[in-house]
Structure 1
């Protein structure tokens, strides 16, 4: 299935049916009076988050969603039929954005969340509604309300507990394949990963979800390489795992490149908890490893883990460090929720 995380759709709710002007015509009922029914309500357009979806590919082939109009009222006090609603089913983690591409209408983060995007128009009143003591035979009825037409953007941000960052070929996909059942494409050339991948990682009988996004390069915030279009998929993560290629001769510059792109993209993402790892240590001699490890720790200003995704050296230590950050974040979310009896 092709991955698509941004889609533009056009929606329109149904118009209400017009009210009816009608009078009773029974043979033996004199001055029968009005009996025009009301028009039916137009259908509304909703969006709902559902499980089992991880892409917006369905909205590539259909961009227009028009709800049904309400039926007009009829004689004998018959109300028109309401128009059918339309429900757009999207993956969990989808943001609904207005046409200006800035205003967030809704953020669907849980299965079953439903938001009204365009409410259907009310049906018009028939002439029976206008009967009064002074107007016994009204000959007027209301037209139905018009539907609402608008353009919206759907933007998917994958929901994961931990996100992988690094330059191309830093070993992100190899690490994800080593610790989960995910099978991302792995090769020895840059930009092997073209779309985000998700994997469920287990450590000490606990599980969390990890997201791997395509590698960043210098100038990604200005659109170089694949740009920063996929960084949104790690915005919801509790912690970021920054992998630095230990075989590179410029580990400090590589680290600072990614940090610079994070800062250029978003302050919120830049300030997220990060765990830095010097990867591919099985391919470096001990003396060089010690030198590069010391230089990277000085640049980070904190602890740098040593790991090899291929040889699975130091992997468990990194996973435990990730879990500590994730569990602390989950605990904070629980404490922030108000108590309810």
Structure 2
């Protein structure tokens, strides 16, 4: 997906429908010139509803919709007839969409499952007709409730990519090359920083027809948590990944130090990211002989599974997939309910 078509942030003014007014009608008929109240209730104003869709990957469809307006409820009428409810507006959004208040930044909710529906702005309630106010002391009330006004608020929708594995590394660490090697995705690859400007998703085929989703995310730089480089646009996309694959080239100055910098940026942005399982892939390892490989092993950070790979030479890729599959499986069995992501395990093919 091109950078122009990938949209992960939109700001929209939503306006829900106002409720219809209740009717203050009094029944009149031949032979009954002084009938009682028979005014119906007004209809509810239209809601604005976000609906999760696993087939939508971007907020592009909402990029140019600066105003979304739901329908107003109809007024009540005689003979206890209710007004029609206002037309609800449904907006299909990708899984991983977060709705926030544009002024306060407070999170309203997150859409994480296919078919999940959440009201982002509720319509006004319809007013009650005069028949509700009839009593022994007031048998012909000549008043009814007006409908509630609708709401108007600016909301921000942000997309956090949903994937099983998120690739973490500095620019030109080989993330896009790995994704192109083990999936059918075709990310842009070039020998300069920030080739990847938007997340790219690919499905990694695994043994026995199983698969998992990998996300190539724009490269991180030091002080990214302060917004430098692609900053927060990058970091929010790794919050939803089940496993983080750190990718560091073998020809970097100090693998342990580079890993510490990446880890610090994640911690400064969101400490909860440290609770996710981490795997380290040392890339471009086709440049190493056995002696250099043994020397580098002594320089690897402790407490994290590590593997040497070469996407170009196809070295270590199956071992990497085995390690990632085991890590993903363990994490999801411990942290995710059985029906998470579309009513079944989203990382396993249906029988």
Q: What SS does structure 2 have at the residue aligned with 1:80?
A: coil
Q: 2:320 aligns to what? A: 318
Aligned with residue 233 of structure 1, among 221, 237, 243: 237
In 2, the alpha carbon distance for the partners of 1:251 and 1:143 equals 68
Residue ranges of structure 2 left out of the alignment (5+ in a row): 340-351
Aligned with residue 191 of structure 1, among 194, 216, 219: 194
Count of aligned pairs between the two proteins: 335
Q: What SS does structure 1 have at the residue aligned with 2:63?
A: helix
Aligned with residue 174 of structure 1, among 172, 177, 188: 177
Q: CA RMSD in A?
A: 2.3
1:144 aligns with 2:147: yes
Report the CA distance shift for 1:79/1:239 in structure 2 as closer, same or farther (over 3 A). closer
- The answer (yes or no) to whether the contact 2:161–2:241 under 8 Å persists in 1 is no
Give the superposition deviation at 1:53. 0.4
Aligned with residue 258 of structure 2, among 254, 259, 262: 254
- Counting only pairs closer than 5 Å after superposition, residues 201-220 of structure 1 correspond to structure 2 as 201-205=204-208, 206-220=210-224
Deviation track 1:207-254 (CA, whole Å, cap 9, x = no partner) reads 111111011111212222212422222222222111111123343433
- Counting only pairs closer than 5 Å after superposition, residues 1-341 of structure 1 correspond to structure 2 as 2-26=5-29, 28-100=31-103, 102-205=105-208, 206-295=210-299, 297=300, 299-301=301-303, 303-333=305-335
In 2, the alpha carbon distance for the partners of 1:193 and 1:113 equals 31
Report the CA distance shift for 1:256/1:31 in structure 2 as closer, same or farther (over 3 A). closer
Residue ranges of structure 1 left out of the alignment (5+ in a row): none
Report the CA distance shift for 1:70/1:228 in structure 2 as closer, same or farther (over 3 A). closer
TM norm structure 1: 0.89
Q: What SS does structure 1 have at the residue aligned with 2:231?
A: coil
Q: What SS does structure 2 have at the residue aligned with 1:47?
A: strand
TM norm structure 2: 0.87
Report the CA distance shift for 1:153/1:132 in structure 2 as closer, same or farther (over 3 A). same
- Asked which structure has the greater CA Rg, the reply is 1
- The answer (yes or no) to whether the contact 1:238–1:273 under 8 Å persists in 2 is yes
Deviation track 1:20-66 (CA, whole Å, cap 9, x = no partner) reads 23344545543244443332221122211112101111221103222
- The answer (yes or no) to whether the contact 1:247–1:284 under 8 Å persists in 2 is no
- The answer (yes or no) to whether the contact 2:225–2:235 under 8 Å persists in 1 is no
In 1, the alpha carbon distance for the partners of 2:177 and 2:17 equals 50
In 1, the alpha carbon distance for the partners of 2:55 and 2:102 equals 27
Report the CA distance shift for 1:181/1:24 in structure 2 as closer, same or farther (over 3 A). same
Report the CA distance shift for 1:302/1:160 in structure 2 as closer, same or farther (over 3 A). closer
Q: What SS does structure 2 have at the residue aligned with 1:210?
A: strand
In 1, the alpha carbon distance for the partners of 2:297 and 2:308 equals 8
Report the CA distance shift for 1:208/1:336 in structure 2 as closer, same or farther (over 3 A). closer
- The answer (yes or no) to whether the contact 1:46–1:114 under 8 Å persists in 2 is yes
Q: What SS does structure 2 have at the residue aligned with 1:230?
A: helix
Give the superposition deviation at 1:309. 0.7
